[in-house]
Amino acid sequence: MAETTKVTMAQALNTALRDALREDDRVLVFGEDVGPLGGVFRITDGLTRDFGEERCFDTPLAEAGIVGLAVGMAMGGFRPVVEMQFDAFAYPAFEQIASHVAKLRNRTRGRLTLPMVIRVPYAGGIGGVEHHCDSSEAYYAHTPGLKVVTPATAEDAYWLLRDSIADPDPVVFLEPKKLYWSREDTDLGRRGALPFGRAAVRREGRDATVVAYGPSVPVALAAAEAAAAEGIELEVVDLRTIVPFDDETVTASVRRTGRCLVVQEAQGFAGVGAEIAARVQERCFHSLAAPVLRVAGFDIPYPPPKLEHAHLPGVDRVLDAVDRLQFGDEPDTRHLLKGAVA
């Protein structure tokens, strides 16, 4: 048996980039400060030193330029892996992403394809000031033609990034910043059982299904731990890829448990969690003992560092929602409470 070692998500990502650069000459890494500095989060640490300027390089500071350049280079036979420095600073590239990255295969009936990866450090929980903590997954997930990936473990960070780089289609790879430094025991050389596109059941439980992805997975797991102490067994499903979405795993779990919560860090309105809740109701209605609930951030611009704790869904907010899953047969009357406008 291969040995496991302690690895952070940041190291796993760095190793994935190294292995991809080593195995495929077409792979290039570029973006802002990804060269000698190694990126502001050090995900590209040492790549320029070890693979040379030709394979990992700094570009001028312009996000549309970086993504647009990558489009042309992918058309020209390369496999660019570009870094957006932060979630909110990817917005200048949005036109390139929505109008070209996502659509080129479709526009040309598959004659031109764009195997490229746009890496985006995203979401909060690190005390970042404004414009550094957006959960922007819904914008990308709402754009047909993109695959949207977000790992929650170091092992997934490695394999999902390798798979994304090898994928024939463009991938927006969302890296939960707050998990960059989380450590786990793993052997990156050994591929896990799950293929790209399948969700993982991170914890089994019979009473309710908690669907989470990226930064919310550890929150869901911590809540499951706490709930277990109260005698409620939560099953935690980690999506891994938002697109493609694994209806099969989610549906099978909810049909088994009869209850479902969706946890996301992003603001709730029109978010990925809303889509999941709708899909679950459509597919599992007759198995459901309670409405599908969303646990999300509030519908506000991302708060300043001292207030992000109030915004981010933590264990308590998840457990509150678990309480509202009608285990005691009382209907959920929370919408009738003071302040409700319905």
| Smallest separation (angstroms) from another protein to the CB of 253 | 16
**243 in contact with another protein (CB under 8 A):** yes
| Smallest separation (angstroms) from another protein to the CB of 80 | 8
| Smallest separation (angstroms) from another protein to the CB of 144 | 6
Coil vs helix vs strand at 55: coil
Q: Which residue has the tokens 């997930």?
A: 141
**From candidates 42, 78, 182, 222, binder to another protein by CB under 8 A:** 78
Spatial contact of 249 and 238, defined as CB atoms under 8 Å apart: no
On the CB side of 290, CA atoms within 13 Å amount to: 23
**From candidates 70, 261, 276, 318, binder to another protein by CB under 8 A:** 70
**247 in contact with another protein (CB under 8 A):** yes
**From candidates 5, 22, 23, 112, binder to another protein by CB under 8 A:** 112
**328 in contact with another protein (CB under 8 A):** no
Query: CA-to-CA distance for 144 and 98, rounded, in angstroms?
Result: 9
Residue 115's alpha-carbon distances to 28, 53, 126, 130, in angstroms, are 12, 21, 31, 32
**94 in contact with another protein (CB under 8 A):** no
| Torsions phi, psi for 297 (to 5 deg) | -70, 170
Q: Which of 132, 142, 286, 335 is catalytic?
A: 132
| Torsions phi, psi for 278 (to 5 deg) | -65, -45
H or E segment to which residue 31 belongs: strand 27-31
**169 in contact with another protein (CB under 8 A):** yes
**3 in contact with another protein (CB under 8 A):** no
Query: CA-to-CA distance for 77 and 259, rounded, in angstroms?
Result: 47
Active site residue 132: yes
| Smallest separation (angstroms) from another protein to the CB of 177 | 26
| Smallest separation (angstroms) from another protein to the CB of 43 | 22
**242 in contact with another protein (CB under 8 A):** no
Query: CA-to-CA distance for 205 and 200, rounded, in angstroms?
Result: 13
On the CB side of 266, CA atoms within 13 Å amount to: 23
| Smallest separation (angstroms) from another protein to the CB of 251 | 11
**From candidates 21, 74, 161, 292, binder to another protein by CB under 8 A:** 74
Cis-peptide, bond into residue 244, ω within 30° of zero: yes
215, burial (CB in 10 Å: exposed 0-12, middle 13-18, buried 19+): buried
Binding mask 183-212 for another protein (x = CB under 8 A): --------------x---------------
Q: How many residues bind another protein (CB under 8 A)?
A: 46
**From candidates 23, 248, 282, 316, binder to another protein by CB under 8 A:** 248
**168 in contact with another protein (CB under 8 A):** yes
Query: CA-to-CA distance for 97 and 68, rounded, in angstroms?
Result: 8
| Smallest separation (angstroms) from another protein to the CB of 86 | 18
Contacts of 298 (CB under 8 A, 6+ apart): 267, 268, 311
**From candidates 106, 185, 204, 225, binder to another protein by CB under 8 A:** 106
Q: How far is CA 165 from the centre of its chain?
A: 16
| Torsions phi, psi for 200 (to 5 deg) | -110, 135
**228 in contact with another protein (CB under 8 A):** no
Spatial contact of 118 and 84, defined as CB atoms under 8 Å apart: yes
With respect to another protein, which residue has the nearer C-beta, 95 or 185?
Answer: 95
With respect to another protein, which residue has the nearer C-beta, 153 or 164?
Answer: 164
By the criterion CB under 8 A, which residues form the site for another protein? 54, 59-60, 62, 64-65, 67-78, 92, 95-96, 99-100, 103-113, 144-145, 147, 167-169, 197, 243-245, 247-248
Catalytic residue numbers, as ranges: 132
